């Protein structure tokens, strides 16, 4: 359901949050430590910077850091920044004219699930980081 780009970005942002003692982290360091493809991650980090989730600083001591507090960054914001909001708006079968009035074959089953997923992704990054810190969810 989530693209590899979104998954990688969520992992990268959790890693960034767990290393908050450093003012800026390089994308190269994050990619290397999480075994992620650097160029793809860098391209997606640019989207997060453009959407005011992260800020970047160039130079030898540069890198990225959060532009907002973790409580204000929702998982849905990351999804929308990287992949857009089509998952939460569009027909799951790809029809342009799918609606309650003109439904596709699985529209009535998809709409409630889509809302459930949207609600699930409304959790914030701080909640995820706290789970990782507590050991409940330790995979990065």
Instruction: Dump pLDDT digits (tens) for 19-34.
Output: 988 889 999 999 999 9
Please say if the pLDDT value at position 101 is more than 80. yes
Please say if the pLDDT value at position 138 is more than 80. no
The CATH classification number of 4-132 equals 1.10.10.10
| Distance separating alpha carbons of residues 53 and 81, to the nearest angstrom | 9
Q: Any bridge partners for residue 127, and if so which?
A: none
| Distance separating alpha carbons of residues 93 and 114, to the nearest angstrom | 13
Beta strands in 4-59 (DSSP E): 54-57
* Cα atoms found within 13 Å of the Cα of residue 55, Cβ hemisphere only: 7
pLDDT per residue as tens digits for the range 113-136: 999 999 999 999 999 999 998 886
């Amino acid at each position: 359901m989530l693209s590899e780009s979104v998954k990688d970005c969520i992992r990268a942002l959790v890693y960034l949050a767990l290393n908050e003692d450093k003012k800026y982290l390089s994308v190269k360091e994050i990619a290397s430590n999480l075994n992620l493809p650097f160029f793809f991650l860098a391209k997606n980090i640019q989207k997060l910077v453009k959407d005011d989730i992260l800020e970047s600083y160039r130079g030898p001591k540069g890198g990225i850091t959060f532009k907002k507090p973790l409580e204000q960054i929702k998982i849905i914001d990351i999804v929308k920044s990287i992949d857009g909001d089509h998952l939460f708006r569009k027909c799951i079968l790809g029809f342009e004219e799918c609606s309650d009035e003109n439904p596709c074959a699985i529209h009535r089953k998809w709409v409630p699930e889509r809302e459930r997923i949207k609600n699930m992704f409304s959790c914030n990054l701080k909640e995820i980081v706290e789970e990782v810190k507590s050991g409940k969810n330790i995979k990065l």
